[in-house]
Chains A and B, each alone.
Chain A
Amino acid sequence: NAGVTQTPKFRILKIGQSMTLQCTQDMNHNYMYWYRQDPGMGLKLIYYSVGAGITDKGEVPNGYNVSRSTTEDFPLRLELAAPSQTSVYFCASSATGLANYGYTFGSGTRLTVV
């Protein structure tokens, strides 16, 4: 059981370039999330989705876009990379948004924008 899979693990982008961070889960979870983690800081929510076709903004959505065409996949798009987007990005999923279920995280994508 793979859980939450993120690709790539590492990436270096030049300012102004675009890329998509991939996230796939095989647990049939409805809820999926994208977080970023800056050094010495807690994780901050970028976007989340409560099911296929439904997405919403989190705390720090500027500079990012998402889509959710299937239950399994939740890609994060950076359109014009900026140095402020240098961070570690984590994708997570949960069965529901309610009390009984915790979150499962992917292993992260370390992005550097130069």
Chain B
Amino acid sequence: KQEVTQIPAALSVPEGENLVLNCSFTDSAIYNLQWFRQDPGKGLTSLLLIQSSQREQTSGRLNASLDKSSGRSTLYIAASQPGDSATYLCAVHDYKLSFGAGTTVTVRA
């Protein structure tokens, strides 16, 4: 059974600092990995999708890496802003999507 773990569970940083969010998974036989953002009381917004054959994916200030052999992905957010405050969820796709519990980020102005 696929287990997805996200560390840390919560993170508070001053504005401008770079964010590093970690995701680990137990079964490396995945199709892809997806990072989502969830604002309080809202649905999930897809941020980045990394296919199993890729090592990283970038969108603006966001960069996600994938190391399938070690079962790890890292989401980097450069020059954080208060608007980046949200919960970030990692999900791996084998025959279904398995989610971590998320990292709740607070960026202090």
Q: Does chain A bind chain B?
A: yes
The distance from the CB of B99 to the nearest CB of chain A, in whole angstroms, is 4
Give A106's nearest chain B residue, CB to CB.
Answer: B43
Kindly state whether residue B46 has any CB partner on chain A within 8 Å: yes
Cα(A45)–Cα(B41), bound, Å: 19
Interface of A is mostly: loop
Give B52's nearest chain A residue, CB to CB.
Answer: A99
Interface size classification for chain B:
20 to 34
Interface residues of B in 45-60 (CB under 8 A from A): 45-46, 49, 51-53
Most chain A C-beta atoms within 10 Å of own C-beta, residue among B32, B91, B96: B96
Total number of A-B contacts with CB less than 8 angstroms? 58
Cα(A48)–Cα(B96), bound, Å: 9
Most chain B C-beta atoms within 10 Å of own C-beta, residue among A42, A45, A108: A42
The distance from the CB of A40 to the nearest CB of chain B, in whole angstroms, is 6
Chain A residues within 8 Å of B100, by CB: 42
B43 pairs with A105, CB closer than 8 A = yes
A45 pairs with B96, CB closer than 8 A = yes
Kindly state whether residue B79 has any CB partner on chain A within 8 Å: no
